[in-house]
Amino acid sequence: MGDSGRRNHWLALWRKIVTAETLAPTEQKLPRNVWIVTATSFLTDISSEMIVNLLPLYLANVLGVKTNIIGLIEGMGETTASLLKIFSGWLSDKLRSRKWLTVVGYSLSTFAKPFLIFANSWGVVLSVRMMDRTGKGIRTSPRDALIADSIDETQRGAAFGLHRAGDTAGAAIGLLVALIVVALAQQAGEVQLTASTFQTLVIISFFPALFAVITLIVGAQEVKLKPLGAPPKLSLAGFDNRFKFFLVIVVLFTLGNSSDAFLILRAQDRGVSLTMIMAMVLCFNIVYAFISGPAGKLSDRVGRKRLIFTGWIAYGLIYLGFALAEAGWQVFGLYVLYGLYYGLAEGVSKALVADLIQPEQRGTAYGLYNAAVGLAAFPASLIAGILWQGIGSFNGFGVRAPFLFGSVLAVAAAILLFFLTTSPRGKIE
């Protein structure tokens, strides 16, 4: 393709992006299950985000835990979830049922949360975190498969985009509640995050999580699935090579995508106050929620790969910015822009998984995908902690190192994405 052809190609793509047609309301209404699962995630994230972003600060400032241990806690929690995501996805294929595994997962996370009230050491936090992540591991793959089962392929991106938008809107509300509680505590003279403030948020967070479980039980409906001729295999055997290659690319990207706890600690390192950190994460979630829905719908029209590539390149540039940032306001602005990556890539990646596999493989495929992300997250967080602060006699390379590492891997993954071939229907280009 010559320069003129390439220019016309990108002009045509730009017209698709900016026209009202691209962002017009969905031609057909999204089904009930998509809305119910979105509402469940919305309520769950109100609960989770009240405490999850404060957890690294609670560990560091209240319990005196070092960053390498914080990375270990995050990594072990995600590894636990990841291993269960494979099994629960496969089990949902075998049982031909998605709803009740999803309910069990949300319930376990909900009833684990109150035990953080008694967390007076990092070992207790680790135990509770692993219980919570166990619930996430049980629910995630059946939930994603339930969304994919409930929707026509022409609206797949819109459905997953809506789910991510609802999930993130809940996160924004949860952060706003936490910000108010922390601000009130600071007015009472508590400049730093204290144990009592954190415990208050844990108590408040239990109620939206409980309502989320009730919403799912009452509102969601099982999708009648065709019986399988043979039981599904808990392996990559039988999957399209394009799906396998996509998993390899995702693992490479995720190795540089350490826990966002390190971004919060980076903000604190640059002098951002506790209330401003919470405001920063709130703004990030607003950007994430605002972009997710339109990005998912856009991927139904222009293809998934372009959106994911753009999101990963944005991630690489933003992480480079985190490495180079000198002032607190720079970290604040970069964290808000970080929502671009999530909004462009997260929901669209899950829609792409459904494009690359057969319907009867959905539960297992989402289990493998979610597990690939989660298992890679363990070494990613551990590497970030070691690069930052070191381990044993190794003193690390300093605060910039984990962000430079993440930036390089993100760009490498984006380049490899170009080698992912299109489907016969052209759905992923």
Q: Which pLDDT score is estimated for 19?
A: 37
Q: Could you say which DSSP state residue 153 is in?
A: G
Closest CA to 67 of 404, 409, 396: 396
Q: Could you say which DSSP state residue 297 is in?
A: H
Q: What is the pLDDT of residues 39-50, one digit of tens each?
A: 999 999 999 988
Q: What is the pLDDT of residues 330-380, one digit of tens each?
A: 889 999 999 999 999 988 999 899 888 888 888 889 988 988 887 787 788
32-222+239-417: CATH homologous superfamily?
A: MFS general substrate transporter like domains (1.20.1250.20)
Does pLDDT of 69 surpass 50? yes
Q: Which pLDDT score is estimated for 152?
A: 83
State the Cα angle at 53 between 121 and 373, rounded to 5°: 95
27 — pLDDT class (breaks 50, 70, 90)? very low
Q: Where are the domains of the chain?
A: 32-222+239-417
427 — pLDDT class (breaks 50, 70, 90)? very low
Rounded Cα distance between 367 and 137, Å, is 9
Least confident range of 17-31, 247-261, 337-351, 390-404: 17-31
Rounded Cα distance between 167 and 292, Å, is 10
Rounded Cα distance between 304 and 301, Å, is 9
Least confident range of 157-166, 172-181, 227-236, 409-418: 227-236
Question: What are the CB-based long-range contacts (under 8 Å, 24+) for 409-413?
Answer: 409/252, 409/253, 409/255, 409/256, 409/257, 410/253, 410/256, 410/257, 410/312, 410/313, 410/315, 410/316, 410/319, 411/312, 411/313, 411/316, 412/252, 413/249, 413/250, 413/252, 413/253, 413/256, 413/312
Closest CA to 62 of 211, 196, 246, 200: 196
**Backbone phi and psi for residue 391, each to the nearest 5 degrees, phi listed first:** -155, 135
Q: What is the pLDDT of residues 403-417, one digit of tens each?
A: 899 999 999 999 999
Q: Are 267 and 277 in contact (CB under 8 A)?
A: yes
Closest CA to 171 of 10, 308, 280, 331: 280
Half-sphere exposure of 175 (CA within 13 A, CB side): 21
Does pLDDT of 17 surpass 50? no
pTM: 0.75
Tokens of 60: 């560091």
CA torsion sign, 378 to 146 to 340 to 5? positive
Region 76-95: mean pLDDT is 84
In terms of Cβ atoms closer than 10 Å to its own Cβ (0-12, 13-18, 19+), residue 290 is middle
2: number of Cβ within 10 Å: 7
Q: Which pLDDT score is estimated for 307?
A: 92
Least confident range of 69-83, 147-161, 303-317: 69-83
Helices (H), 220-361: 241-255, 261-269, 274-302, 304-324, 328-356
Q: Which pLDDT score is estimated for 79?
A: 74
394 by DSSP, 3-state: which? strand
In terms of Cβ atoms closer than 10 Å to its own Cβ (0-12, 13-18, 19+), residue 186 is middle
Residues 6+ apart with CB under 8 A from 418: 305, 309
